[in-house]
Amino acid sequence: MSKCLVLGANGFIGSHLVDSLVARGHVVRAFDRFSDGKTIFEITDAVEIMSGDFLNRSDLARALEDVDTVFHFISTTTPATAENDPLIDVETNIRMSIELFQECVDKGVKKVIFASTGGAVYGDLPDRNILSEDDATLPVSPYAIGKLTIEHYLRYFEKKFGLTSVTYRISNPYGERQSMVAKQGVIPIFLHHIYKHEPITVLGDGSMVRDYLYVKDVAELISRSFESASRPVYNLGSGTGVSVNGLIESIKEVTGQQIRIEHQPKPATFVQKVVLNTDRFKSEFNLEPEVSLDVGLRKTWDYIKNYEDSID
């Protein structure tokens, strides 16, 4: 079993990844700011908590001591913040990822696992109903451009220094522990507003199609595949596209609530359709997501209700 460092361990996907890695017998060093002193993953004897700043190279160097595998699941921006100021993404995510990879080389790390963005790195490919790892990558948003740039640097570090890496291009993850008030993650944002009896905001006419993947499936698929992965890039998704309008109908059935909708213009850099072909991953590992969208929505709705009730 590996000694794993999870960067962004107290984040949405990172926290579930910590739980999944520990459940599979790995020892985990959980790195994050922990600014409020709380952890959202389960604390066990197999988890070492390390507080630090991703933007501080000495903190990264300290975190990398005696580590086999690094999970780079930390990001200083979201699609919205990168859109508003692309330079922040360049100066923080891209720059510090390069510094991280150099430190990995210096510390003798065996493998880096990177969480990229599924779909957005491909851009708009109107002639493709479902996107595979062999399709062209033509991102049009700063966030996706940054993710793809980091992927390219991983290839450079493998070619030049022998640093092995695996990139998972993850579709739209959702579920427990995802922020309800940030500008990323339409499902918890919608459910939060519905719980508060507030209108939800739809960008465009609601015809945009996305591929939604339950977060515990994300963590489980990664933790069960990273050690034996033989390819540099894998798509992780459900393989099924759902429009925003279709998602809202499913949410109505799960919550039993009436939903008020307000429309705003769709940003020019938003991709119209994202559905991932996951045949490469399925054929190599014989693994598939277990949680359907309806079940995942219900789990997320119950989580939000319990959370909101606890703070009322």
Q: What is the CATH number of the domain that holds 143?
A: 3.40.50.720
**Distance between CA atoms of 37 and 51, rounded to whole angstroms?**
9
- Within this chain, do residues 187 and 154 fall inside the same structural domain, yes or no? no
- Which pLDDT score is estimated for 112? 98
Together in a domain, 191 and 81: no
Domain residue limits at 109? 3-173+213-236
- pLDDT exceeds cutoff 70 at 63: yes
Pair 79, 12 in one domain = yes
Residues 180, 145, single domain; the answer is no
* Whether residue 309 has pLDDT greater than 90: no
* Per-residue pLDDT, 150: 98
- The DSSP code for 92 is I
> For position 166, what pLDDT does the model report?
98
CA 262 centroid distance within chain: 27
218 and 70 share a domain?
A: yes
Is the pLDDT at 1 greater than 80? The verdict is no
154 falls in which pLDDT band (50, 70, 90)?
very high
CB 140 within 8 A of CB 88: no
Q: Note whether 231 and 247 are same-domain residues.
A: no
> Are residues 120 and 67 part of one domain?
yes
| Count of structural domains, the chain | 2
Q: Are residues 184 and 164 in the same domain?
A: no
> In this predicted structure, what is the pLDDT of residue 312?
62
> Does residue 124 carry a pLDDT above 90?
no
pLDDT digits (tens, 9 = 90+) for 172-208: 999 999 988 877 889 999 999 999 999 999 999 999 9
Share of the chain above pLDDT 90, in %: 88
CATH number at residue 263: 3.90.25.10
pLDDT of 54 above 90: yes
For residues 155 and 245, state if they share a domain.
Answer: no
Q: Count CB atoms within 10 A of the CB of residue 305.
A: 13
Q: Are residues 76 and 147 in the same domain?
A: yes
Q: For position 247, what pLDDT does the model report? A: 98
pLDDT at residue 36 in the model: 87
Per-residue pLDDT band for 119 (boundaries 50, 70, 90) equals: confident
pTM summary value: 0.96
pLDDT digits (tens, 9 = 90+) for 255-282: 999 999 999 998 888 889 999 999 999 9
The verdict on 67 and 101 lying in the same domain is yes
Average pLDDT, the chain: 95
Residues 277 and 224 in one domain: no
Burial code of 80-107, b = ≥16 C-beta within 10 A, e = fewer? ebbbeebeebbebbbebbbbbbbbbeeb
- Residue of 26, 27, 34 lying closest to 8 (CA atoms): 34
The predicted-structure confidence for 220-255, as pLDDT tens digits, reads as follows 999 999 999 999 999 999 999 999 999 999 999 999
Q: Say how far apart CA 174 and CA 72 lie, in whole Å.
A: 19
